[in-house]
Amino acid sequence: MARFQSFDDAASPAQGPERIARLRAELVRRGLHGFVVPRSDEHQSEYVPKNAERLSWLTGFTGSAGTAIVLQDKAALVVDGRYTQQAEAQVETSVIAPVQQAKTSVEDWIAANLPAGTALAYDPWLHTSEGLKRLEAAVDRAGGRLMPVDINLIDVIWIDRPPAPQAPVRPHPISHAGETIEAKLDRIRERLKKDKLDALVVSDPHNLAWTFNLRGGDVGHTPLPLGYALIPAEGQPSLYLDPAKVTNQAGAAVGGLADFAEPSAFAPALDALGGRGAKVRIDSGTGAVALARRIEAAGGKPDMGADPISLMKAVKNSTEIEGSKAAHRRDAVAVARFLAWFDREAPSGRLTEIDAAEALEAFRIETGALRDVSFPSISAAGPNAALPHYRVTRSTNRRIEANGIYLIDSGAQYEDGTTDITRTLVVGEPTAEMRDRNTRVLKGHIAIARAVFPKGTTGAQIDSFARRPLWEAGLDFDHGTGHGIGSYLSVHEGPQRIAKTGHTTLKAGMMLSNEPGFYKAGAYGIRIENLVLVEPRQIDGGDREMLGFETLTLAPIDLRLIEPTLLDAAETAWLDAYHAWVRETLSPGLDTHTRAWLEAATRPLG
Amino acid sequence: MARFQSFDDAASPAQGPERIARLRAELVRRGLHGFVVPRSDEHQSEYVPKNAERLSWLTGFTGSAGTAIVLQDKAALVVDGRYTQQAEAQVETSVIAPVQQAKTSVEDWIAANLPAGTALAYDPWLHTSEGLKRLEAAVDRAGGRLMPVDINLIDVIWIDRPPAPQAPVRPHPISHAGETIEAKLDRIRERLKKDKLDALVVSDPHNLAWTFNLRGGDVGHTPLPLGYALIPAEGQPSLYLDPAKVTNQAGAAVGGLADFAEPSAFAPALDALGGRGAKVRIDSGTGAVALARRIEAAGGKPDMGADPISLMKAVKNSTEIEGSKAAHRRDAVAVARFLAWFDREAPSGRLTEIDAAEALEAFRIETGALRDVSFPSISAAGPNAALPHYRVTRSTNRRIEANGIYLIDSGAQYEDGTTDITRTLVVGEPTAEMRDRNTRVLKGHIAIARAVFPKGTTGAQIDSFARRPLWEAGLDFDHGTGHGIGSYLSVHEGPQRIAKTGHTTLKAGMMLSNEPGFYKAGAYGIRIENLVLVEPRQIDGGDREMLGFETLTLAPIDLRLIEPTLLDAAETAWLDAYHAWVRETLSPGLDTHTRAWLEAATRPLG
């Protein structure tokens, strides 16, 4: 039994029709023709609390991204390519039609279906300014009107809606955070002054958690408290967190550095800021359009842009880096035990995807330090591994068969660091094609691991290094090569990325994943993921300040899936050195069986 | 004596003070405090006609980019890093202060120096909408006003201003163009309709030349006629070209497909379009703000965006591709003769940069087909080669010394194609460092030449392939890896680029340069440039549509500057195959001496 993840199929199509009918009745009562129901919550979070699961409550769809548009006479659920099949299975398609985003965007669907002269309603707390501009353009094309609602219409009709989460808010000790609240606030205020801003709305709870060295548990897998903060360039910041969840320790740790206030005091505080004519930075990625409206209506100047905290949080300090390394060493013991167990058990042919995910979680729990998994494990056998965002449920659960590939992408939340690792394993004999593809993915992984690049380089500039070995074979993968990662925070953290869209400059101290892959639909999938740390590199004879990556994750890469003749000497040397480091670091702390397994799993190729 | 390029130092600092004083008197007369003088002409062209050389007439500065701001009490010339030294040398610095753009932008200088309450004037035909927004923000910061002028103030005071150029406009025959005017207009109109646009302003003369299969000679090195065109989604296009320069052949070739009109009829035509409420696309890169203003004032809707012709023009048809290949074979004979001559003559130590540039031009003239050089040659010895945009003049002309590097970046305009090639040569013995750096540049060049990538890939995604071998040594180069190139048009053509900023998708038929480099300030510079053609690639076992490059340029790469142990087997194989192709293609058409030289210069390494 997994403690931190569920494999149940949540929601069911049956509930949709009645709830949609109730929503339509509410629309009629208000003289509205339709309502937009995004998956996002007030903070545009990846994981949302139960009381913000409006989309799944209404439609039955439980994917992590999607938008429903319910009109009087028709309704659509627009989802991206990851969720096409899932949407078909989870919703009552006779009442709400699943629509593929790549073919018809939310905006295109609205433009084509909203009758001219009618009003489409939306909740201004669930859309960013950018998102709203797109909705406006769509409604314009339809000849309709866009109408904000004061209270979300789903909340009006959702009888048993759960209360807002109230997980305790606790301090994140300086021994893990590495920088005091005071020092962080000084840096933020300095930045606000430099940018001639009077205040910052912290709409991203990750940034609130980082700034005030607080952690919570309001959403799954990310230890943060939901709430807002206001940080003026001069004077005392305010934290809008339900007092019922703020522990005494958290209050004491923040001390006199910020005021705690009721969440209900947040909107009036925006009005007050606006009333003073303040220029207020609102994060364009996570800030709801309601924030800007409120400030503007009161006479202030909303300034849409990046919350400067995001970039500060992305660059880890030495305490966070040491914490992450300790977390990785700890996690690696659990992962090594799991991999050894897998090699022992999988040949029986009896293991399922859920068995494996539960086993890995159990090994992590045995570290004694696991706070949560950092996301539900992607435990995928055979063709399921070809779905990069697969999540196993009781109904999709496959047996792990011989001569096939098994992929597990998982991570842990420890108080000193967050981990994220993917390994691709073979049971029995791989085909020559599998070895070829896996080796190309590995070559791409090594190209990132070994990359050196000048200060000022973005993730976009190095992303193709991970793809080149696949491109040479006429292949590619359809996701980014790497995402940022938090320090006992979100497993997906911006703004840095290694991806076509990664336009943030990489800086020493940033942490990212390095995870190229290959997916053969209906057959198998491959991904090799380690976390890496950006670090300065001194190169003799060079004339530029250079950066490179230090790999943080410790786990063998399956040698049975490597075709050694495809590796050049430098790549083989990297792999052997990596495996030697893994062996030397982990062996002393392992049981005899796992140590023997590790010895074999990390034997040199060269 | 070169026919197509001059090595004279044009302009002189002495003329500046008196002309600036005259401009100030004119400003006083009009109640204005200052005037902005950009280098650009009405079309934002790279090469501008003599009558648009306002910046050099006013200040003495002849660089290809820069902006003067003349106020009553002070004046500045803002230039980028390429032109810092040149600006210092060419202008009377006691009257107009050279300013480095990287330190102080035009906008920052205006914000800091324009007195509050005063008016800064500008010519709306010389600024794009984007550029004007930046100027407006700067003037706002200063508390001043921005005022358009009806006639450029330089034109008012420039007594002997040359007339507008009137080079004959001739048809570009279908045997070179490969697509009829009619077919091109059909594609453009279809695109306008798809984008719900009523008309297109063709503000870029390259796009006018391409669409109407016309060529001219109004500016240096690019065979285009200056002028505008209007293309409505329905109905007859109009060409606004001085009738005195339109030849009968051009008139006959365009036939009934477009009307010819006086340039003076252009502005009224914009008014008429606006008066009909038309939605008119204006190219945001080359369209003057005056265009949008005029259309808007008359009641129309200017739509700023990309001129769709740019992307059509970038994808060469099979006739243009065959023409380019013929042009490259022809040019290669001249280049091979030059390189053989250089190796024979340079060891004497008597050759200068100008001698070499003249010799290469002479060999090109001897092809019998040269219409112009495609840009003034960068003929650079020793430390001059460390300046990527160096242009030799009588005062900078260096002797080509033994044991040093000589770099020549040059190109030709033939009616069937435009060329652009850079070779880096050594006289005597290179140092080990020179060989190392040159080999790394070559490795980058080969990485681009051999790149295969999926359809949909941008130039930005592959740019770093050219840099990786330098990055590994702590080095880099500070320019893009490649630019697009025209078909008997501009040597620099967009929108495709291989550069950090190259966000245009590469398509089969596009032509680009492949020109990584390395520059050691005060010592030497290296660049290896071939032109390449994007072509489809079929890869067995692949699952994606792939693209790659076919190299078009034929000339030996100096083996004396290569450290063979730094090349891997695939790189050596590429170089040997390239050299074999050069040798086999060129040898039959060469004189005995050059053929023998080529044999040695292309000997295999492997």
Q: How would residue A46 be classed by pLDDT, with cut points 50, 70 and 90? A: confident
Map residue A242 onto helix, strand or coil: coil
Nearest-Cα distance to chain B for A523, in Å, is: 14
Q: What is the mean pLDDT of residues B56-74?
A: 94
**CA–CA dist B300, B270 (Å, integer):** 9
CB contact under 8 A, A474 and B544: yes
B269 in the Ramachandran plot: left (φ > 0), alpha (ψ -120 to 50) or beta?
alpha
Kindly state the helix (H) or strand (E) to which residue A449 belongs, with its residue range: helix A432-450
Q: What is the mean pLDDT of residues A150-160?
A: 95
Q: What is the mean pLDDT of residues B376-402?
A: 93
CB contact under 8 A, B471 and A451: yes
Nearest-Cα distance to chain B for A469, in Å, is: 10
CB contact under 8 A, B472 and A452: yes
Nearest-Cα distance to chain B for A451, in Å, is: 8
Q: How would residue A389 be classed by pLDDT, with cut points 50, 70 and 90? A: confident
| pLDDT reported for residue B320 | 98
B414 in the Ramachandran plot: left (φ > 0), alpha (ψ -120 to 50) or beta?
beta
Task: Give burial (CB, 10 Å; 0-12/13-18/19+) of A264.
Answer: exposed
A577 in the Ramachandran plot: left (φ > 0), alpha (ψ -120 to 50) or beta?
alpha
**CA–CA dist B597, A503 (Å, integer):** 48
Residue B326 has pLDDT above 90, yes or no: yes
Rg over alpha carbons for chain B, rounded to the nearest Å, is 25
A523 touches chain B (CB under 8 A): no
Q: How would residue A104 be classed by pLDDT, with cut points 50, 70 and 90? A: very high
**CA–CA dist B262, B239 (Å, integer):** 8
Q: How would residue B434 be classed by pLDDT, with cut points 50, 70 and 90? A: very high
User: Is the model more confident about A535 or about B10?
Assistant: A535
B46 neighbors B285 (Cβ within 8 angstroms): no
pLDDT in tens, B258-300: 999 999 999 999 999 999 999 999 999 999 999 999 999 999 9
DSSP B463-510: GGGGTHHHHTTT---SS-SEEE--SSS-SSEEEEEESTT--SBP-TTB
CB contact under 8 A, A473 and B542: yes
pLDDT in tens, A324-353: 999 999 999 999 999 999 999 999 999 999
What are the CA-CA distances from residue B43 to residues A91, A571, B215, B227, B272 (Å)?
56, 51, 16, 9, 21
Chain B CB contacts of A543 below 8 Å? 474-475, 520
Q: Which of B439, B446, B464 best tests the A interface by mutation, with the highest count of A CBs <10 A?
A: B464
Which of A80-89, A258-267, A363-372, B230-239 bottoms out in mean pLDDT, i.e. has the lowest?
A80-89
**Given B465, B476, B541, which is nearest A544 (Cβ)?**
B476
A456 touches chain B (CB under 8 A): no
| pLDDT reported for residue A1 | 66
DSSP A37-97: EES--TT--SS--GGG-HHHHHH----SS-EEEEESS-EEEEE-GGGHHHHHHHS-TTTSE
A584 touches chain B (CB under 8 A): no
Q: What is the mean pLDDT of residues A292-319?
A: 97
**CA–CA dist A550, A530 (Å, integer):** 10
User: Is the model more confident about A44 or about A9?
Assistant: A44
| pLDDT reported for residue A413 | 98
ipTM score of complex: 0.92
Half-sphere exposure of A262 (CA within 13 A, CB side): 3
Cis? peptide before A49, omega within 30° of 0: no
Chain A CB contacts of B537 below 8 Å? 474
> pLDDT above 70 covers what percent of chain B?
99
Closest residue in chain A to residue B539, using alpha carbons only = A474
CB contact under 8 A, B465 and A461: no
Q: What are phi and psi of A511, to 5 degrees?
A: -115, 140
Q: How would residue B11 be classed by pLDDT, with cut points 50, 70 and 90? A: low
- Beta strands of A499-560 (E only): which ranges? 511-514, 517-520, 524-527, 530-537, 546-551
B7 neighbors B354 (Cβ within 8 angstroms): yes
User: Is the model more confident about A63 or about B69?
Assistant: B69
> pLDDT above 70 covers what percent of chain A?
99
A453 touches chain B (CB under 8 A): yes
Q: What is the mean pLDDT of residues B563-591?
A: 97
Q: How would residue B10 be classed by pLDDT, with cut points 50, 70 and 90? A: low
What are the CA-CA distances from residue A462 to residues A317, A330, A466, A467, A494 (Å)?
24, 30, 8, 10, 17
Q: What is the mean pLDDT of residues B462-466?
A: 98
| pLDDT reported for residue B46 | 84
Nearest-Cα distance to chain A for B508, in Å, is: 16
CA angle A4, A7, A9 (to 5 degrees): 130
Chain B CB contacts of A474 below 8 Å? 452, 537, 539-544, 546
Three state DSSP letters for A105-151? CHHHHHHHHCCCCCEEEECCCCCEHHHHHHHHHHHHHHCCEEEECCC
Residue with structure tokens 């965007």? Answer: A105
B542 touches chain A (CB under 8 A): yes
pLDDT in tens, A547-572: 999 999 999 999 999 999 999 999 99
Q: How would residue A525 be classed by pLDDT, with cut points 50, 70 and 90? A: very high
Nearest-Cα distance to chain B for A391, in Å, is: 25
What are the CA-CA distances from residue A401 to residues A337, A356, A422, B215 (Å)?
21, 13, 19, 68
| pLDDT reported for residue A195 | 92
Nearest-Cα distance to chain A for B461, in Å, is: 6
Residue A308 has pLDDT above 90, yes or no: yes
Q: Which amino acid is at A536?
A: P
Q: What are phi and psi of B496, to 5 degrees?
A: -70, 140
Q: What is the mean pLDDT of residues B531-559?
A: 97
**Given A461, A471, A542, which is nearest B452 (Cβ)?**
A471
Q: What is the mean pLDDT of residues A182-191?
A: 98
Average pLDDT, chain A: 96
DSSP A238: E
CB contact under 8 A, A474 and B453: no
Strand pairing class (A511-514; A199-202): unpaired
**CA–CA dist A274, A280 (Å, integer):** 8
| pLDDT reported for residue A84 | 85
CA–centroid distance for A525 within its chain = 21
- Beta strands of B149-300 (E only): which ranges? 170-171, 199-202, 214-215, 228-232, 238-240, 259-261, 279-283
Three state DSSP letters for A257-271? HCEEECHHHHHHHHH
Q: How would residue A82 be classed by pLDDT, with cut points 50, 70 and 90? A: confident
| pLDDT reported for residue B1 | 64
B479-488 CB burial, b ≥16 within 10 A, e <16: ebbbbbbbbb
> pLDDT above 90 covers what percent of chain B?
92
Residue B82 has pLDDT above 90, yes or no: no
Q: What is the mean pLDDT of residues A204-225?
A: 97
Residue B233 has pLDDT above 90, yes or no: yes
Interface A-B: count of C-beta contacts within 8 A: 75
Contacts of A249 (CB under 8 A, 6+ apart): A170, A171
